[in-house]
Amino acid sequence: MEAKYILLGCFFLLLLGCASQTQTQYVCADGTAVSDPSACPVGQILQKTSSSTQTFLCPDGEKVGDPADCLKCPSSCDDANPCTQETCSQNTGFSCQYTNLNGPQPNCGGAPTGCMQRTCSSGKCISEPQVPCCGNGKCEEGETCDSCAADCGCEQGALCCENKCKETSCSNDSDCNDHNESTVDTCTGTGCEAACQHTAITSCKNGDGTCPDGCSANTDADCPAYQLRQYANITDDLSVGVLSKATRHCFGEGRDAGKDYGYFLVLTVDFENSALSEKMVPVNTFTVFSNATQQYNSTDSVPGDCDTSGMFAGDSARVLSWKDSQGDLWFQVGKNELHCGFTAVLNKSAYGENGELVWSVPC
């Protein structure tokens, strides 16, 4: 009897010792208790039980205090393929997933050879033609004379300027001749910056082949000197011509009879108006220069017995549209006649223009 109770006590002691041992148990996120963690749906995190002595056994055999520590990615997902992208996260169920890549990738092959290049295609590293490819003898889209002179080089005489072939404007001044005697032609800059400049000649200079605006035969030997009966333009719609010359010797009349007033040079001048309206034209704008550089201005008063009926009346003349106005200008030249060897100069400033017009009367 006593032995019986002793055996029964040992059984309870044995049972009590087994219950105090640590138990391994798994609880899925939905509360389901399982003995095998793989029984939980993929992606669900295991939860701890209320037992403070409980531990959890991961599928790989690792024991952890928190079952969430069992759900983690492998230490590496590298599949040694440069044409795939490896990913692993909770969204992948902590398993490695691989996405195929396309196009050039850093570790797909080596440097291109010839006109072939290494690239990824649907997850595989392959060789394909390289376009554009400098050196294949074709000027392809994307290549320029700067980036690939071998295929897109410029023709002889042209330069590559800002990725485009450009004909050189000039290399010296003679390349810039515009066949206009009124300009100075120069080549400025070099290479792509070379350009022709055509600068108008504005100074009065003998021998340069041009008569700039404002110059005349008196100041520039290249300017024309008109002859008698030749017309010259003062403005676009007003021209003038010196038609003839004459010499008059005037003497006093009446109480001044016998008084010698000297010689007068008489120029017959004609103004022509091609405008649609009449013009009041200044007439006393001529000056006469003798070869001895003596200067004579026109006068509106002639003393003595000389006939001045043809003289312009006043300082200006009315010239109707598409008509002309003709009259005489008188110049008192002194005691000596002035038949030739003089110039008659019209100053254009009185007409709002620059320069002067010159008529030459040589001997």
* Per-residue model confidence as pLDDT tens for the chain (363 residues): 443 333 333 333 332 333 333 444 666 656 677 777 677 665 555 555 545 556 666 666 677 777 677 778 888 899 999 999 999 988 888 889 999 999 889 888 776 667 888 899 999 999 888 888 888 888 989 899 999 998 999 988 889 998 999 888 888 999 999 998 889 999 999 889 999 999 999 898 898 888 888 888 888 888 889 999 999 999 999 999 999 999 999 999 989 998 999 999 999 999 999 999 999 999 999 999 997 679 999 998 899 999 999 999 889 999 999 999 999 999 999 999 999 999 999 999 999 998 899 999 998
Spell out the long-range contacts of 52-60 with Cβ–Cβ below 8 A and sequence spacing 24 or more: 53/22, 53/23, 54/22, 54/23, 54/24, 54/25, 55/22, 55/24, 56/24, 56/25, 56/26, 57/24, 57/26
What DSSP character marks residue 133? -
Q: Report the distance separating Cα 68 and Cα 46, nearest Å.
A: 6
Integer Cα distance of 164 and 139 in angstroms: 13
Residue 316 CB partners (closer than 8 Å, separation 6+) = 280, 281, 282, 283
Asked: is 231-361 a CATH 2.120.10.30 domain? The reply is no
Predicted local confidence at residue 209, as pLDDT: 86
* pLDDT for position 154: 92
Per the structure block, which two tokens stand in for 159? 């330069």
Question: Can you give the pLDDT at residue 234?
Answer: 95
- Of 182, 178, 155, nearest to 167 by C-alpha is 155
In the chain, domain spans: 169-200, 231-361
In this prediction, residue 278 carries a pLDDT of: 96
Residue 33 CA, chain-centre distance (Å), reads 79
Q: What is the pLDDT, as a whole number, of residue 167?
A: 87
3-state SS, residue 77: coil
Query: From CA 46, how far away is CA 29, in angstroms rounded?
Result: 6
Task: Fill in the amino acid letter for 192.
Answer: C
Position 22 scores a pLDDT of 43
Nearest to 100 by CA among 75, 125, 117, 118: 125
Tally of CA atoms within 13 A in the half-sphere of 95 that contains its CB? 5
What's the confidence (pLDDT) of residue 23?
46
Predicted model pTM: 0.50
Tokens 């939860």 — which residue? 47
Which pLDDT score, from 0 to 100, does residue 53 have? 53
